[in-house]
Each structure stands twice: as C-alpha cells, then as structure tokens.
C-alpha cells in the first residue's frame, strides 16, 4: 500500500519534496473558503516551481486550550487530511498540538517548521491569520519574518458566500447549520455533502425486525453528527472487514439515515442517541465490522414518537420513498449540469 504524503514531524518530510509554498490552518471541514485559499496556494506554488503543502494541527487547538464541546469538529482527523490532499496538496504536515507546542514563539514556529522543516519560500495566509504563543503573531509579523528569513508572504482574500470575495465561509457557520439540521446550507458552504465515518456496530436489531435493517455507527464517529431527524443520504464502504467476502464494495448506495433516541421504543431502556442508515434494497447486507462513510444530502423530517409499530413502519416506508425522490432529483440536476 502506498503511503500517503502526510507527515507528523519535520523529520518525516522527504528531502525530495524540495522548496515549498505553505498555508497554515486548522482546515476543519476543508470547506469552500479553505479550498479557495488552497487554490491560490497551488497557483503561487506552480508559478514559482514550489511544492504546495498544508501545515495543520491535531487535536484542534481549541480542544487543547479550551472546552472541546464548544467546538465540535466537522471532519475527523483522517478525513480532514485526505481532503487536503484531494485539494491538490503535495503533502500535509500534520503536527500534534499540545500545551508545550503552544509555547513556541511566532519566530520559533516560523523558523523551525516553515523555514527549516519545509524549506518554505512562499507563505499564503488570510489577513486575520494568527500564530505562535498566545496567537501573538499576525500577518505583519509573518511579513517581517519573511523579509528576515527569506520567504515571500502572500495574502489570500476571503471567499464570500457566492464566491465574490465579500463576507466569508466559516467552519463555525457550518457547525451551526449542521447542529440545526440544515445540511443543504452546510453542503453549499462545504462544496460537497457532509460526511460522518465509523465502523458499523451492532445495534438493537429493531430495523431488521421491522423490515428495514440498518447499519449502526458507534457512539463517537468521525465527523459532526447533525441534529436529530431523518435524512436522505448515501453510504460508501471505505474499509472492509477481512471476514467479509464481497466482490464489489458498496459505493454511493442510496440510504435513509436516522439520528435520534428512537422515542417509540423509549420503554426498552435508557435513551441512547444513535446514527443508523438503511441501505435501500439491501435486506441481507452484512456490514458489521466494515468502515462506512455516510453522506448527508437533505433533511426530511424530525424524529417522532409513534403510537404503534404499524404507524412507524408506514412512516419508514414513506421516508425511503422521499429519499428516493431526493436522490433522483439530485441525479437529474447533476446530469443537466454535465
């Protein structure tokens, strides 16, 4: 298996990478605003015969310096780095953020990681970029260090909601949309469907008993779980359990995704919030142990409590039909655009 160009220390950066153009950020979500900056990074790198590299951190600095619950992450660690590579980066320097790491002065951070570690000759930053101990470094600090240490600093404007350069697309805004169930708005800002990834766990098997077997995620998947409700989406198997023998892995299969505490069955025990996906037509599909990626396309309805199992089953059938119509409409728009 080819090892991806993701490095966790400057010692891992290969010498053959050569001189680089670098952008620095947390890149949670790798949304359209991030990719606007990364596109500019690639442009400046190509025009200067440099390798474009994203320098990022894990855990998110706010999870180390503050309250993690206040900043739920849009993307998991591996998905974030994968998306950075898909955005055209030659490599990702993904540094562990710790309290000790946070003590680097702006000058030491630039010297150790940009100049000595990545041999940076061009740094692309937003006007509001901050770095170094207590966020003491800003864009002017970077320009001064560039003059001293021999690299160019380029300012990247924000990408507005319509790509006009006015306003900005932000990770915090996308988090708010997802937590409100507004996945279409989140997807517009992301430039792709929001995803959640995890290994399929055993659930209560209620869906199978009702004729709608589901793939259940664990309690802590990668990616921000949207608000409770039922969603139209898709399922892709990203890693298959070795115990399974399957000629074709599941890719982009239509799915109706449910998030919530299953209030119709609340008498069965303490409520537990679950994320489960019914793959359309896959009544005998065994995904236990596989890693799946769920794509969220549209919110269909809130979580409801039903007076009878028959009413629940009827609503589940309607949910599947709504998902089918949603995916058909999306496919028609995609075909028209192409």
Q: What is the pLDDT of residues 291-336, one digit of tens each?
A: 999 999 999 999 998 888 899 999 999 999 999 999 999 998 888 8
Nearest C-alpha neighbor of 59 from the set 132, 129, 8 = 8
pLDDT exceeding 90 applies to what percent of the chain?
73
CATH superfamily for domain 7-156: HUPs (3.40.50.620)
pTM for the full predicted model: 0.91
Q: What is the pLDDT of residues 227-262, one digit of tens each?
A: 999 999 999 999 888 887 766 678 999 999 999 988
Nearest C-alpha neighbor of 179 from the set 267, 61, 23, 70 = 70
Which alpha helices (H) appear in 201-308, and where do they start and end? 206-210
Instruction: Band the pLDDT of 165: cuts 50, 70, 90.
Output: very low
Per-residue pLDDT at 6: 98
> What is the rounded CA–CA span in Å between residue 145 and residue 123?
11
Mean pLDDT, residues 44-61 taken together? 97
Sign of the torsion formed by the C-alpha atoms of 17, 22, 24 and 26: negative
Domain with CATH 3.40.50.620 in the chain: 7-156
Q: Does domain 194-337 have CATH number 2.40.30.30?
A: yes
Per-residue pLDDT at 171: 95
Residue with tokens 């919110």: 299
Q: Is residue 321 a contact partner of residue 273, using CB atoms and an 8 Å limit?
A: no
CB atoms within 10 A of CB 123: 27
From residue 330, alpha-carbon distances to 157, 184, 252, 258, 294 in Å are 32, 12, 13, 20, 16
SS3 for 236?
A: strand
* Cross-strand pairs, 245: none
Per-residue pLDDT at 9: 97
Per-residue pLDDT at 210: 66
From residue 141, alpha-carbon distances to 131, 135, 157, 158 in Å are 9, 11, 18, 20
Q: Over 60: is that where the pLDDT of 166 sits? A: no
Domain with CATH 2.40.30.30 in the chain: 194-337
Per-residue pLDDT at 2: 62
Q: Is residue 230 a contact partner of residue 325, using CB atoms and an 8 Å limit?
A: no
Instruction: Band the pLDDT of 157: cuts 50, 70, 90.
Output: confident
Instruction: Band the pLDDT of 81: cuts 50, 70, 90.
Output: very high
């Amino acid at each position: 298996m080819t090892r991806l160009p993701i490095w966790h220390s400057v010692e891992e950066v290969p010498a053959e990478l050569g001189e680089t153009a670098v952008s620095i950020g947390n890149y949670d979500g790798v949304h359209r605003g991030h990719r606007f900056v990364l596109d500019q990074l690639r442009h400046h790198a190509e025009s200067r015969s440099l390798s474009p590299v994203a320098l990022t951190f894990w855990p998110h600095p706010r999870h180390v310096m503050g309250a993690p619950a206040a900043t739920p992450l849009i993307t998991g660690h591996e998905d974030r780095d994968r998306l950075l590579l898909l955005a055209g980066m030659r490599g990702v320097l993904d540094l562990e953020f710790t309290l000790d790491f946070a003590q680097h002065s702006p000058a030491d951070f630039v010297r150790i990681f940009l100049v000595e570690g990545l041999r940076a000759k061009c740094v692309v930053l937003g006007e509001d970029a901050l770095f170094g101990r207590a966020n003491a470094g800003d864009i002017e600090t970077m320009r001064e260090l560039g003059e001293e240490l021999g690299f160019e600093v380029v300012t990247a404007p924000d990408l507005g909601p319509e790509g006009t350069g006015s306003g900005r697309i932000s990770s915090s805004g996308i988090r708010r949309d997802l937590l409100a169930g507004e996945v279409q708005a989140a997807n517009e800002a992301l430039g792709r469907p929001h995803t959640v990834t995890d290994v399929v766990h055993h659930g209560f098997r209620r869906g199978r008993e009702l004729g709608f077997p589901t793939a259940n995620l664990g309690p802590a998947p990668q990616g921000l779980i949207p608000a409770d409700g039922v969603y139209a989406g898709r399922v892709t198997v990203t890693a298959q359990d070795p115990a399974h023998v399957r000629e074709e892995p599941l890719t982009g299969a239509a799915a109706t995704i449910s998030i919530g505490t299953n209030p119709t069955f609340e008498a069965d025990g303490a409520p537990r919030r679950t994320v489960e996906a019914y793959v359309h037509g896959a009544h005998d599909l065994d995904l236990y142990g596989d890693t799946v990626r769920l794509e969220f396309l549209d919110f269909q309805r809130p979580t409801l409590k039903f007076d009878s199992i028959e009413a629940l089953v009827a609503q589940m059938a309607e949910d599947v039909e709504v998902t089918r119509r949603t995916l058909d409409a999306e496919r028609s728009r995609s075909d028209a655009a192409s």
